[in-house]
Structure 1
Amino acid sequence: MARTPSNMIPLGTIAPEFYLKDTNSNNVYSFEDLKGSKGTLVIFMCNHCPFVLHVINEIVMIANDYRVQGLGIIAISSNDIIKYPEDSPELMTDFALQHKIDFPYLFDETQETAKAYEAACTPDFYLFDNQNKLFYRGQLDDSRPGNGIPLSGTDLRNAIDALIYNRILNEIQKPSIGCNIKWK
């Protein structure tokens, strides 16, 4: 299991636009279509990564807790489905049903969106403010598969709370760690 850290792109970076197909609805969406009134969380993830499987229930809980407060939630899978067929759009739909993901789970077939965001791993989290400026990029929390630290979502939840409630965010942001994106 590779341990790839996320790229810590500069805070304030504007969210790159995209047009991707949602495997839950078969609709094509842009960032503008899905952004929230208070901010937007973009998560690069996939179906098979043990790091994603470790945190998926917490991701769904965060989505359920914060969508009602004006946070847009977007998940994107950019993996090469030729080498990793378990990440195919059809299986993304199944994965979403199995894990009760009712926010868009988009397929980045060309991998151009992952490149635009400089995404490196799964899961990789990008929290943008209501002006589409990067507010937080980093880890969910300190829990990793097998490290014995309970899953809490603390780092990401604190960042979302700071964004929504206009609080000061700790400047120290730890990179996410996960499986590398499976490039073509």
Structure 2
Amino acid sequence: MLLDTPTPDFGAPAPHFRLPDAHGVQHDLKDHLGDKGFLIAFICNHCPYVIAIAERLAADAKCLERDGVGVLAIMSNDYDSYPADAPDKMIAFADKYGFDFPYLVDADQSVARAYGAVCTPDFFGFNGTGLLQYRGRLDDARMGDATQRTPELLIAMRMIADTGQGPSDQMPSMGCSIKWR
């Protein structure tokens, strides 16, 4: 099912979490906070929308990390019902697309609920004080055609890193629903 993300509550603080990656290594949100802000991407392995943007997400994330912006991805789908999203598959997916950021497992789906995530991909950009400044899409590329694109998330996160504020005009992400238990 195709979903659009809801209107965000700009200025809301990032809910704290501690989650394992697919190797079992724990990651605490506070360890990824920085003066330049951070990005949280709710993604999964099987969604065609995520697959379509995975290479661009990896490339844009590398740019953000070089700029001092933290990047985390979270997989919150029910992987018992959707085995393509299981932790062992997350490792292969991250390797295939060159993710160099932590890809975390939200097995009980509490983090997705706390953030109000609804789809994959769903992007949340926070400033250096941990306040929500972006809830939009990766870019304006159409499915299957990324030859020309405006990297909206990258531009927004750089703006947030520089000013603490996100752009006033944001297009919501769209994708497949999170697969709830």
User: Shorter-chain TM-score: which interval?
Assistant: over 0.9
Q: Verify the 8 A CA contact 2:90 2:103 in the aligned structure 1.
A: yes
Question: Which residue number corresponds to residue 26 of structure 2?
Answer: 28
Letter of the structure 2 residue corresponding to residue 4 of structure 1: L
Number of equivalent positions: 181
Task: Give the Cα–Cα distance (whole angstroms) in 2 for the partners of residues 162 and 30 of structure 1.
Answer: 25
Report the 3-state secondary structure (helix = DSSP H, G, I; strand = E; otherwise coil) of the residue aligned with 1:135.
Answer: strand
Q: CA deviation at 1:170?
A: 3.2
TM-score when normalising by structure 2: 0.93
Map 1:124-135 → 2, pairs under 5 A: 124-135=122-133
Taking the aligned partners of 1:80 and 1:151, their CA distance within structure 2 comes to: 34
Unaligned runs of 5+ in 1: none
| Mapped partners of 1:41, 1:73: distance in 2 | 5
AA matched with 1:166: T
RMSD across aligned C-alpha pairs, in angstroms? 1.6
**Could you tell me which residue of structure 1 aligns to residue 53 of structure 2?**
55
Offset at 1:88? 0.2
CA–CA distance in structure 2, aligned partners of residues 6 and 152 of structure 1: 20
Unmatched tracts of structure 2, length 5 or more: none
In 2, Cα distance between equivalents of 1:6 and 1:68? 28
Does structure 2 retain, via aligned residues, the 8 Å contact 1:58–1:151? no
What is the distance in 1 between the residues matched to 2:148 and 2:6? 22
8 A contact 2:133–2:160 mirrored in 1: yes
| Structure 2 counterpart of 1:160 | 157
Q: Deviations over 1:1-49 (max 9, x none)?
A: x2111122211010011110012x5211121112233100000000010
Q: Distance in 1 between matches of 2:84 and 2:146?
A: 28
TM-score normalized with structure 1 length: 0.92
The percentage of counterpart residues that share the same residue type is 38
Indicate the larger mover: 124-133 or 34-43: 34-43
Amino acid at match of 1:164: A
